[in-house]
Chain A
Amino acid sequence: MGNLFDENAKTFFKAVLALESEDECERFFSDICTVKEIKDISSRLEVAILLKGGMVYSDIAEKTGASTATISRVNRSLNYGEGGYKAIIERIGDKKVIKTLKNSEIAILKLRALYESRGYAHFKMSKFEEYDIYAENKDFLSGESVITFTDLNGRLMALKPDVTMSIIKNSADGDGLTEKLYYNENVYRASGDTRQLKELMQSGLECIGDIDIYNTCEVIGLAAKSLSLFKRSYVLDISHMGIVSGIIDPLPLSDTAKKAIIKCIGEKNSHEVKNILNENGIDENNCCIGEIIKLNPAPEKAIDALKNMPLPESAAPSLSELETVVNTLKECGLSENIRLDFSVVQDMSYYNGIVFQGFIDGVPEKVLSGGRYDLLMRRIGKAKNAVGFGVNVDLLESILGAPDEFDADIALLYNDGDDPAELIKLADKLSADGSRVAVIKKISEKLKYRKVIKFNAGGAEKV
C-alpha cells in the first residue's frame, strides 16, 4: 500500500494527523478542499457508518441522497478494503463512550490496563466481612478505625476497610508459585480526627507466594509506572525496613525508645533522635541514624553513602537487595523519579523488607504506598511471602483536570402535548455525535447547557 502514495500525499497525511480540534479541521478542510469535495468525502463516510450499522441500500439512498453505485463502492471498501473505514468507525464509537467517562474512571481504567499488561488478574470481593480479621490486625490500617455493624444473625461485621487482608486470606499456599492479583475497590474507614465516615476508591496489586528479586522489581516498577500515568512529575520514595531495624535493634534501648526513634525517622526529625540517644548515653555519631535521616535521596549517591556507613552486619543483605533493585530500575529507565528515603517507615510488625511511597506533584499527601509484608502473612497464618501496593485514587481528583463546565451539551425543550415518538427520534439524532442531550420542559437555573434547542411540531428551532 505504501507505494500508492507519493511524498505529497504523505505530507498531507501528516497534516491531517496534526489537526487538534474539530474547529481546526473545519478551517483546514475549508481552505484545502472545495465544498463539493468535502460533501463527497463526508457522504461516503456517512454511508459507511450506516452500512456498518446494518441499514439497507434503499434506506441509505433515501436518507443520504447517495447513488446506489456510491453505496456499493463504499460497501466494497468497507468489507474488502484496507480496514480503514472499520477502524475509524469503531474509534468514533469508542470516543463517544470515552467522552462520557469521568476523569477518575479513566484513571482507574489506565491503572487496570497497566496491571493486566503484566498478567495480574482482577480480584473482586464482597463489601462486608467478619470483623475478627481486622480486629486482630488493627494497626495495619494506621490510625483509622473500621466501620462495623451486626448482620441479621448478630455477627459483628465490618465494612471492608482494606483489600490487602482479604486477598491474603483467600490466597493459597503452594510451593514455588506466585499469585498476582489487582483490584479497584471502594473501602470504608472512619478517619481518626474528625470521626467522619469515608468511602475511598483504592486501586492496587498484590504479588503473593514465592517472592524473589524479580517480583520485587516488577512490583516497584509497576508502582513507578502507575504514578507516571498521570503525566505530572512524581517521586517514588524507597526504603528498606531491614536497614532501619538493622540499625535500631542492636541499640541498648527500651522498646518505647526504639519506637520513638522510628517515629522520628518518619518525621525526618534528627534533633529529637539526638535527644533520645543522649538521654540513653549512646553516641549519636556511631549509630548512623542521623545520617540515614539526612541521606541524599538520589539513588546512586544514597547507595554509595550507605556503603560507607558503619552499618551493622545484619543490615548487609538488605543493603544489597536495595542496591539490586536500584540498579534494575535504572536499567529499565525508571530511576529518574526514584529516591531513597528512610522516612518511609511502615509498621514493623507487618512490613519487613522494601517499603515505598509515591507522591504526585499537586497532591499534598502520598497517593501510593506499599511494600513487602511477609510479617502480616505470618500473622494471618500464611507461610508465603508477599509484596504489593495500593493507590488512593480519590486523592488524584484534584489533578485530573477541571470538571466539564456544562451539565449537558444540548437542552431540548418541549411543551405539553408534543409527540413523544418525535421527541425520542430527535434526541437520538442529536446525540448521534456523542452529545449529551437533556430532554426537559424547563431549564433549571442551576444547570448549564452548551446550547438550547426548542422542539416544534414541524422540527427543531435553535435558541
Chain B
Amino acid sequence: MINVALPKGRLGEKVLKMFEDAGFRCPDIHEPNTRRLIFESLENGVRYFWVKPSDVAIYVERGAADIGIAGKDILLEYSPDVYELLDLDIGKCRMCVAAKKDFRNIGDKTLKVATKFPNIAISYYQSKSKSIDIIKLNGSIELAPILGLSDVIVDIVETGTTLKENDLEVYETVVPISARLISNKASMKFKRDEILNIVSKIEKDTE
C-alpha cells in the first residue's frame, strides 16, 4: 500500500487525474460532498489523502506519506530531505521578481523585498551579491509595492493577470516552477518496486 499526499486545490485535481489515468483509480474519492480525508483502493494498492499544498513535503519527509506531489517552489523554499523523482510538467508557472511599472533598480540602496518565500528570495539575491531587506508576508503580496511597503516582490506568476490589474510587471524570472513527484527516502528503500511502478506509469503518460 502506497500512501499518496495530494495537494488540495486545482493542481491536486489534475494530479489525481494523472494517477487515475495511469491505472491507480480510487472510486471513493469521487463521492460528492464527502467529508472523509483518506481514500483507499485496495486493488490498486494506493491510499490518497488531501493536504495543504505547502504541507505535502512535510508529510513525505516524515514518512506519513510515501510519495506526494509538491510544487518546486515549496521544495526550494523548505528543502525537505526527499527524493524528487519526476517533473510532472503541470502546474507550470514562474517564480518572479515583480515591481511597479516605473520601478528603477538603483544599485546604491538596500532593496526591500516582500515575499512568501524568504529562503528563495535570500538565495537568489545572495547569488547576485545584492543586499536586501526581507519582508515576510503570508498573502496579498501584490499590495506591498503599491503601498510602498517594499520595492519589489518575489512571488509565483502564472498568467500575470493579477500583476497587470495592480499595475505591476515582471522584472526578472528567478526560476521556472512545476509540480514534482517526491518520495520519502526510507519508503524508496522498502517499497521501491511499488513506487517505481507508479512513477514509470505516470512518466509514460506524460511523454
Contacts and interface: CB of A to CB of B under 8 A. Distances in A.
A193 B78 contact: yes
Contacts of A365: 61, 63, 81, 185-186
Contacts of B61: 364-365
Interface of B: 61-64, 78, 81-87, 184-190, 192
Given A364-B63, A364-B184, A267 B82 contact: yes
B185 A359 contact: yes
Nearest to B196: A294
B189 A237 contact: yes
B186 A364 contact: yes
Contacts of B64: 364
Contact of A271 (B62, B63, B86): B86
A272 B190 contact: no
Contacts of B83: 267-269, 343
Contacts of B185: 359, 364-366
Contacts of A363: 63, 186
A237 B184 CA distance: 15
A151 interface: no
A116 interface: no
9 tightest Cβ-Cβ pairs between the two chains A and B: A364-B63, A271-B87, A235-B189, A269-B84, A268-B83, A267-B84, A359-B189, A359-B186, A361-B190
Contacts of B87: 271-272
16 contacts: A193-B78, A235-B190, A268-B84, A268-B188, A269-B84, A269-B85, A272-B87, A339-B189, A343-B83, A359-B190, A361-B190, A364-B64, A364-B185, A364-B187, A365-B81, A366-B185
A331 B86 CA distance: 37
Most buried by A among B62, B64, B87, B187: B87
Contacts of B82: 267
A195 to B, nearest CB: 14
Contacts of A267: 82-84
Contacts of A193: 78
A68 interface: no
Contacts of B84: 267-269, 272
Interface of A: 193, 233, 235, 237, 267-269, 271-272, 297, 339, 343, 359-361, 363-366
- The SS class assigned to the B binding surface is mixed
Contacts of A359: 185-186, 189-190
Contact of A268 (B81, B85, B186, B187): B85
Given A267-B82, A343-B83, A364-B64, 19 more contacts: A193-B78, A233-B190, A235-B189, A237-B189, A267-B84, A268-B83, A268-B84, A268-B85, A269-B83, A271-B86, A361-B186, A361-B189, A361-B190, A363-B63, A364-B63, A364-B184, A364-B187, A365-B81, A365-B185
Nearest to A267: B84
A209 B184 CA distance: 36
Nearest to B127: A256
Contacts of B187: 364
A193 B83 CA distance: 19
A365 B185 CA distance: 6
A233 B188 CA distance: 13
B5 to A, nearest CB: 13
A364 B190 contact: no
Contacts of A269: 83-85
A361 B62 CA distance: 13
A184 to B, nearest CB: 23
Nearest to A294: B196
Central interface residue in A237, A267, A272, A360, by most chain B CB within 10 Å: A267
A343 B187 CA distance: 14
Nearest to B81: A365
Contacts of B190: 233, 235, 359, 361
Nearest to B188: A268
B62 A364 contact: yes
B183 to A, nearest CB: 8
Contacts of A361: 186, 189-190
A269 to B, nearest CB: 4
A3 B83 CA distance: 63
B162 to A, nearest CB: 28
B166 to A, nearest CB: 32
B74 to A, nearest CB: 13
In the complex, which of the residues B61, B186, B188 has the most CB atoms of chain A within 10 Å of its own CB atom?
A: B186
Contacts of B81: 365
Q: Most chain-B CB neighbours within 10 Å: which of A233, A360, A364?
A: A364
Contacts of B78: 193
Nearest to A337: B189
A189 B72 CA distance: 28
Nearest to B187: A364
Nearest to A398: B63
Contacts of A271: 86-87
Nearest to A343: B83
Nearest to A256: B127
Contacts of B186: 359-361, 363-366
Nearest to A235: B189
A359 B86 CA distance: 23
A233 B190 CA distance: 8
A447 to B, nearest CB: 31
A457 to B, nearest CB: 56
A233 B63 CA distance: 16
B101 to A, nearest CB: 30
Nearest to B86: A271
A363 B184 CA distance: 11
A363 B82 CA distance: 14
